[in-house]
Amino acid sequence: MKFSPLLEDLINALKELPGIGPRSAQRIAMSMMKGDRAIAKNLSRAIDSATKNLKFCTCCHNYSEKDVCDICGSVKRQAKGVICVVENPADVLAIEQTNEYGGIYFVLHGKLSPLDGIGPKELKLDELEKLLKSGDYSEIILATSPTVEGDATAHYIGHLAKHANVKATRIARGIPIGSDIDNVDGSTLMRSLNGRMPL
Ligand SMILES: [Zn+2]
């Protein structure tokens, strides 16, 4: 027996989501089509709006509804002259929650991984280099994960900073090797940020 093509379509679309297998996709699809379908309609509206209106900040590349996000647009934050490089938007949130950091960010949306075809171009490091060379920043904090790729990424950016005469520091202390920044508790992250070391 087959489901209706429309239901089949929905199940197939859900299966594409990370962490959702065929059975979960089926269960979610069934549950969404029950009753007044309010949850499904709400989800559809949110996806539609986000895909149409969410863009990347032209300065830090974090998700933003505006060309320049609130953090990059803040005169006070720009005046600190510090850029914190993170792998993912979730890391920005984790660092913001410590209330310890007053500069701007640069979101890589990944880390250098030549085997997966992720090089400097994919991480838009040429744009980071432009920021470093602008003369507006005196320090770059490398808050990439303490993994092999995270360390390689930090070192690569460290070289760019050196060429641009910007001090590069690395957070690491207290963060378990191999873990993601956004999985680290706030106080550990705070200590790690405050105890950053020259690269
Ligand atoms: Zn921004």
pLDDT tens string 38-78: 999 999 999 999 999 999 999 999 999 999 999 999 999 99
pLDDT number for residue 1: 67
Hey, where are the domains in the chain? Answer: 5-53, 57-170
> What does the pLDDT read at residue 184?
80
CA-to-CA distance for 107 and 159, rounded, in angstroms? 18
- Indicate the SS3 state at residue 110: coil
| 57-170 fold | Dna Topoisomerase Vi A Subunit; Chain: A, domain 2 (3.40.1360)
Ligand 1 ion local residues (Cβ < 5 A): 57, 59-60, 69, 72
> In angstroms, what is the span from residue 119 Cα to ligand 1's centroid?
22
Residues 6+ apart with CB under 8 A from 58: 67, 68
Distance 55 CA to ligand 1 centre (A): 11
Cα 61 to ligand 1 centre (Å): 6
Give residue 190 CA to ligand 1 midpoint distance, Å: 21
Q: What are the beta bridge partners of residue 56?
A: 63
143 within 8 A of 181, measured Cβ to Cβ: yes
Report the CATH architecture of 5-53. Answer: Orthogonal Bundle (1.10)
How is residue 19 written in tokens?
């962490």
DSSP 148: H
Distance 24 CA to ligand 1 centre (A): 36
Kindly give the distance from the C-alpha atom of residue 197 to the centroid of ligand 1, in angstroms, as a whole number. 25
Q: Report the separation in Å between the CA atom of 173 and the middle of ligand 1, taken as the mean of its atom positions.
A: 26
* Global confidence as pTM: 0.83
Residue 195: predicted pLDDT: 77
What's the average pLDDT block by block, 10 residues per block, for the chain (199 residues)? Answer: 90 96 96 95 96 96 97 97 97 94 97 94 97 97 92 95 96 73 82 83
Q: Tell me, in angstroms, the distance from the centre of ligand 1 to residue 53's CA.
A: 16
pLDDT of residue 174: 67
What is the 159 CA–ligand 1 centroid distance (Å)? 23
The single-letter DSSP state of residue 118 is: B
**How many Å lie between the centroid of ligand 1 and the Cα of residue 73?**
7
Distance between Cα 4 and ligand 1 center (Å): 44
**Ligand 1 centroid to 70 CA: how many Å?**
7
| Cα 154 to middle of ligand 1, angstroms | 20
